[in-house]
Chains A and B, each alone.
Chain A
Amino acid sequence: VSDVLVETALPPGTSWLERVRGSVARSAPIFAVLAVLLVWISIENPNFTEPPGFLAFLRRAAPLAVLAAGQYFVIVSGEFDLSVGSLVTVTVVVAAEVLADNPDSTIPAIALVLLLGGVVGLVNGLVTTRLRVPSFIGTLGMLLILDGAVFYWTEGAPTGSLSESFRTLGRGGVDDVPVLEQLPWSVVVFLAVGLGSVLLMRADLGKQFVAVGDNHRAAGLSGVLVARVKVIAFVLSGLLAALAGVLLGGFAGVSAQVGDGLEFQAITAVVLGGVVLGGGRGSVVAAIAGALTLEALFTLLNLLGVSGALRDAVEGLIIIAAVAFAAFRLRADR
């Protein structure tokens, strides 16, 4: 009874142009919020306006931005991926174990963890579409499996270490770039993922993600292979989570807690960007801007000397306020 119709986003007959215009109007506030935060940070810390200061910020934000892009594909298709945080941990721990024996095999190690991420995403997608397990539960189960497996394997204390060349992607950069001094690799990765995501969303596949999330039945009747599109979204999320793991491992080193809570941060970032849980609405650029906003918020709270504990509380308040504001705008639009 309840699953016959998914609520449609806009009245039937709305043109694609109006749809796009609507989504830009809805996602605009996040850019304003981000701008305000960035200006505030530069007032508190003038170094922030210099290229190295700003690039350092982007480098810190890169893993979350990459995760947010992956989570966006899944959310806009109408699903959730709660397994990305544990997948980041798995990536770092597996890479460290592999590289402990032969530090020279950086490329194979990166290929291995990306493959692992893709496979985890594939399983998530198949469990959601073929076994019809709600993705909230399916990926929650995957979270338990990955966390349990990684701790079982390492007995709670990951061993091994990441080779210098592996860590370059997370903390190194291209030296002697004019003006910028050093262009961090993670910023390059971040820009590449952002550009790739925008191009993907303009392609047929991207439109199918949105169509499936908006109304999977209508999309199916229009000839979209709904299950396949959702599986691809999950695979992308898994791949990007592994990539975020590579960046974070390079940046922060090996630990069994590296991915803790990242799934919620990624979902929060996407929602801050105005993407609607349940699918069908929101842009990937805004989702990435949501990730930058979240990271800017952390940076600012740090600069203002707000203690780590209270930071959580402030973050919680701001998230609720932002989404409530978006809900008001959505109603006003209608």
Chain B
Amino acid sequence: VSTEAATLAPRSRLRLPTGVASVPAIWGALVLIVAIGWLVVSIDGGDFLTSSNVTNVLQRTVALGIVAVGQTVVILTGSLDLSVAQLISLTSLIGSETMDGKESMLVPALALTLALGAGVGLVNGLVITKLRVNAFIATLGMALILRGYIENNYSRPTGAVSPSWGDFGYTRMGPIPVSVILFASVAIVVGLALRRTRWGYHVYAVGGDEQVSVLSGLRTHRVVIAAHVICSMTAALTGLYLASRLGSGTPRVGTDGGYDLESIAAVVLGGTALAGGKGRISGTVGAVLVLAVLDNVFNQLELDPFLKQAVRGVVIIAAVAIYALRRRAVRRGPAVQGASA
């Protein structure tokens, strides 16, 4: 099991001198895009590599980044989660409603919201593993259920976050927003769990080949259920973060952000295989940064928001096509012939 993860990993990496070799390809693209962005924006007369703009870019990564980390975990197991956008809306509402502007309710609200996320993830995981419903349909169904609940109970921004939670989304340590530190911590914790724990190896094994994992004696259902619980909890965190930024919960904050499909796109952009079993958190983080930098460059160039969306679509297709072509090229090369046999 562990050898599989080890032999598969080099395919999705740049071949660079030792030390840099473990960096996913998307980080190379990030460097390139930052360089081009800096050039284009400078010619246009804007500021790019200033501390306030870097802060802006980092701030833009938080909401998508946190949920994309969770989405990476479920996709690695060979599943996926289309319910995160609705869950983000719902947790932003429940969180700020529970806080109701009171500092004393902060901790209960955070606990309740994360528990709600865990519960939704548990149901998703159970439906997928025990009822054997395809993940696409199971989480789409969950998204519809959550949407029904939201639309039946909320029609406008509701509740208010506590003063300190309201500050959380806007506080900085030097040029780095505190919320970015939250995103980084989530990414590091989940990344380490995937690379260093037994559960993490099981995630790669189940995503690589579920049948083989079952025959090897893994409790595959538990692995998938845990992945869904983690994913839904990251969605809850994103919901809480957005509530902090906006001051209250909003019924459409998750769907307007398109976090369901965007998070899946970010994961795949980061080099994780949609079929599961291959990929890493650092790739997803790089992809989220790429999307945020692109967004910032387009904004500075005052590109029409809709044109921006179209360009985004082209970028996603092109990037994934390049991965697929590279993977084929690498497979034909002599270096990994032994590994893939």
Of B138, B150, B278, B309, most A-chain CB atoms within 10 Å: B309
Q: Are A136 and B312 in contact (CB under 8 A)?
A: no
Count, chain B residues at interface, CB 8 A: 52
Name which of B95-103, B193-201, B317-325 contacts chain A.
Answer: B317-325
CA distance in complex: A32, B137 (Å): 21
Q: Are A324 and B151 in contact (CB under 8 A)?
A: no
Contact partner of A132 among B131, B132, B276, B321, CB < 8 A? B321
- Which residues of A sit under 8 angstroms from B141, Cβ to Cβ? 316-317, 319-320, 323
Contact partner of A312 among B147, B261, B309, CB < 8 A? B147
Known: A2-B277, A138-B320, A312-B148. A268 touches B137 (CB 8 A): yes
CA distance in complex: A147, B324 (Å): 25
Within 8 A of A (CB), among B151-187: 151-152
Known: A141-B313, A142-B313, A271-B134. A313 touches B265 (CB 8 A): no
Known: A2-B277, A134-B268, A327-B133. A307 touches B152 (CB 8 A): yes
The answer to whether the Cβ of B20 comes within 8 Å of any Cβ in the partner chain is no
Within 8 A of A (CB), among B257-279: 261, 264-265, 268, 273-278
The answer to whether the Cβ of B208 comes within 8 Å of any Cβ in the partner chain is yes
Contact partner of B321 among A127, A147, A308, CB < 8 A? A127
Per-position contact with B for A136-162: 1 when CB-CB < 8 Å, else 0? 111011111111111110001000000
The answer to whether the Cβ of A331 comes within 8 Å of any Cβ in the partner chain is yes
Q: Min CB distance, A322 to chain B, in Å? A: 9
- Which residues of A sit under 8 angstroms from B134, Cβ to Cβ? 271, 276-278, 323
Known: A132-B328, A311-B148. A144 touches B320 (CB 8 A): no
- Which residues of B sit under 8 angstroms from A3, Cβ to Cβ? 275
Contact partner of A313 among B138, B148, B208, B309, CB < 8 A? B148
- Which residues of A sit under 8 angstroms from B144, Cβ to Cβ? 312-313, 315-316, 319
The answer to whether the Cβ of A179 comes within 8 Å of any Cβ in the partner chain is no
Q: Are B152 and A144 in contact (CB under 8 A)?
A: no
Q: Are A310 and B276 in contact (CB under 8 A)?
A: no
CA distance in complex: A271, B133 (Å): 11
Q: Are B306 and A148 in contact (CB under 8 A)?
A: yes
Q: Are B268 and A137 in contact (CB under 8 A)?
A: yes
The answer to whether the Cβ of A40 comes within 8 Å of any Cβ in the partner chain is no
Q: Are B324 and A316 in contact (CB under 8 A)?
A: no
The answer to whether the Cβ of B8 comes within 8 Å of any Cβ in the partner chain is yes
Q: Min CB distance, A202 to chain B, in Å? A: 27
Q: Are A320 and B321 in contact (CB under 8 A)?
A: no
- Which residues of A sit under 8 angstroms from B245, Cβ to Cβ? none
- Which residues of B sit under 8 angstroms from A203, Cβ to Cβ? none
Q: Min CB distance, A241 to chain B, in Å? A: 17
The answer to whether the Cβ of A25 comes within 8 Å of any Cβ in the partner chain is no
Q: Min CB distance, B307 to chain A, in Å? A: 5
Known: A132-B324, A152-B307, A327-B133. A316 touches B317 (CB 8 A): no
Known: A131-B324, A152-B310, A310-B148. A138 touches B140 (CB 8 A): no
Contact partner of B310 among A136, A145, A315, CB < 8 A? A145
Known: A133-B320, A140-B264, A320-B133. A264 touches B140 (CB 8 A): yes
Contact partner of B143 among A82, A142, A308, A316, CB < 8 A? A316
Contact partner of B127 among A134, A151, A264, A324, CB < 8 A? A324
Q: Are B313 and A133 in contact (CB under 8 A)?
A: no
The answer to whether the Cβ of A20 comes within 8 Å of any Cβ in the partner chain is no
Total A-B pairs, Cβ < 8 A: 162
Within 8 A of B (CB), among A104-153: 127, 131-134, 136-138, 140-152
- Which residues of A sit under 8 angstroms from B150, Cβ to Cβ? 309
Q: Are B133 and A324 in contact (CB under 8 A)?
A: yes
CA distance in complex: A143, B314 (Å): 10
Interface footprint category on A? 35 or more
CA distance in complex: A317, B23 (Å): 42
Within 8 A of B (CB), among A262-287: 264, 267-268, 271, 276-278
Q: Are B306 and A149 in contact (CB under 8 A)?
A: yes
Q: Are B316 and A137 in contact (CB under 8 A)?
A: yes
Q: Are B145 and A313 in contact (CB under 8 A)?
A: yes
Q: Are A136 and B274 in contact (CB under 8 A)?
A: yes
The answer to whether the Cβ of A303 comes within 8 Å of any Cβ in the partner chain is no
Q: Are A320 and B138 in contact (CB under 8 A)?
A: yes
Q: Are A320 and B306 in contact (CB under 8 A)?
A: no
Q: Are A1 and B133 in contact (CB under 8 A)?
A: no
Contact partner of B309 among A133, A144, A328, CB < 8 A? A144
Residue of B nearest to A124 (CB): B317
Known: A1-B209, A308-B151. A148 touches B313 (CB 8 A): yes
Residue of A nearest to B340 (CB): A1
Q: A133-B317, A142-B317, A316-B141 given. 15 additional CB < 8 A pairs?
A: A1-B277, A132-B321, A137-B265, A138-B320, A141-B313, A151-B306, A151-B309, A152-B306, A156-B306, A267-B140, A277-B136, A278-B134, A313-B152, A319-B137, A327-B131
Top 8 A-B pairs, shortest CB-CB distance: A313-B148, A316-B144, A148-B310, A144-B313, A148-B309, A309-B151, A132-B324, A312-B148
Which residues of B pack against A, CB within 8 Å?
A: 4, 8, 127, 131-134, 136-138, 140-145, 147-152, 208-209, 261, 264-265, 268, 273-278, 304, 306-314, 316-317, 320-321, 324-325, 328, 340
19 example contacts (A-B, Cβ-Cβ < 8 A) are as follows A137-B265, A137-B274, A140-B313, A141-B317, A141-B320, A145-B309, A150-B306, A151-B309, A277-B134, A309-B148, A312-B144, A312-B147, A313-B147, A314-B148, A316-B141, A316-B143, A319-B140, A320-B137, A323-B137
